[in-house]
């Protein structure tokens, strides 16, 4: 949301963002990424309808100048950016004298799986992409990736947690992981995707080909909202 708002503001484009009705607290007093996106000119369109491209398109007249993007960037046009990312990873591994005969693991969190899917297509064949389903379950993620690839591409390997988690719910172990990573690495990770993915990666650590490259999710500007939720719910 925020990245698209920044892009549209930079290029002087209008940007409608469709979402479910907001909590009263956020609607009355915007903060975090939502506040930042609004300040850049984003228009929030709230609806009780099922959010699909088809239902959203019903609110607009046909116009070749309108671009509709699916939730989570599940779009073939995302491939170009992921191709560049894969090249940087390949170059990095080569510069570290990790030959193509030796294996390596690339770990990334998934919502719709588009990033993991395109990375797998452009990473050298000796390397495997591993991902964690953060939004839905393993079956949902495979369905998303198969729909985009039409069942013809090499798929990333999906790692599953030892227990079920629900997306967007505040879990004490995820907050603990967030602080542990920040303390030990000096890097701030996002609170929605990274803690679960790190948790699952560490649970599977000895089963993964070494070395392991973990791809940061970005999105740390959204942590302000998440930390407020943890505080409000007294999750420690």
Domain boundaries, the chain: 2-68, 76-232
For 42-98, how does the pLDDT look when each residue is reduced to its tens digit (9 = 90+)? 999 999 988 888 899 999 999 999 999 887 677 778 888 899 999 999 999 998 888
Tokens 């390397």 -> residue: 127
**Alpha helices (runs of H) in the chain, residue ranges in sequence order:** 2-10, 24-28, 32-39, 53-57, 79-95, 114-122, 138-149, 172-185, 194-203, 223-232
Residue 219 has a pLDDT of 80
Q: Span 76-232: which CATH code?
A: 3.40.50.1100
Residue 14 has a pLDDT of 97
Low pLDDT (below 50) residues in the chain: none
Residue 76 has a pLDDT of 79
Cα 109 from Cα 193, distance rounded (Å): 6
Residue 26 has a pLDDT of 83
Q: CB-based contacts of 228: which residues, under 8 Å, 6+ apart?
A: 31, 32
Q: Are 190 and 218 in contact (CB under 8 A)?
A: yes
Q: Are 139 and 164 in contact (CB under 8 A)?
A: no
CA 181 from chain centre, in angstroms, equals: 18
Residue 100 has a pLDDT of 62
Angle between helices 138-149 and 114-122 (to 10 degrees): 60
Q: CB-based contacts of 165: which residues, under 8 Å, 6+ apart?
A: 171, 196
3-state SS, residue 16: strand
Q: Are 199 and 173 in contact (CB under 8 A)?
A: yes
Q: Are 109 and 134 in contact (CB under 8 A)?
A: yes
């Amino acid at each position: 949301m925020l990245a698209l708002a920044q892009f549209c503001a930079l290029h002087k484009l209008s940007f409608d963002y469709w979402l479910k009705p907001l909590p009263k607290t956020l609607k009355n007093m915007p903060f975090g990424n939502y506040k930042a996106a609004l300040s850049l000119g984003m228009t929030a369109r709230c609806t009780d309808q099922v959010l699909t491209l088809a239902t959203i398109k019903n609110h607009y007249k046909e116009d070749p100048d309108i671009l509709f993007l699916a939730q989570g960037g599940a779009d073939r046009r995302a491939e170009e950016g992921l191709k560049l990312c894969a090249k940087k990873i390949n170059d990095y591994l080569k510069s570290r004298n990790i030959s193509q005969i030796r294996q390596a693991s690339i770990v990334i969190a998934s919502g719709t799986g588009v990033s993991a899917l395109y990375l797998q297509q452009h990473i050298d064949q000796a390397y495997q992409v591993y991902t964690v389903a953060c939004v839905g379950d393993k079956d949902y993620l495979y369905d998303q990736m198969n729909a985009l690839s039409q069942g013809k591409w090499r798929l990333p390997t999906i790692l599953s947690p030892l227990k079920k988690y629900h997306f967007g719910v505040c879990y004490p172990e995820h907050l603990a992981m967030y602080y542990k990573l920040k303390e030990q690495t000096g890097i701030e990770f996002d609170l929605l995707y990274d803690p679960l993915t790190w948790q699952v990666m560490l649970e599977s650590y000895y089963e993964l080909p070494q070395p392991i490259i973990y791809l940061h999710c970005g999105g740390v500007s959204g942590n302000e909202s998440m930390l407020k939720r943890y505080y409000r719910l007294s999750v420690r």
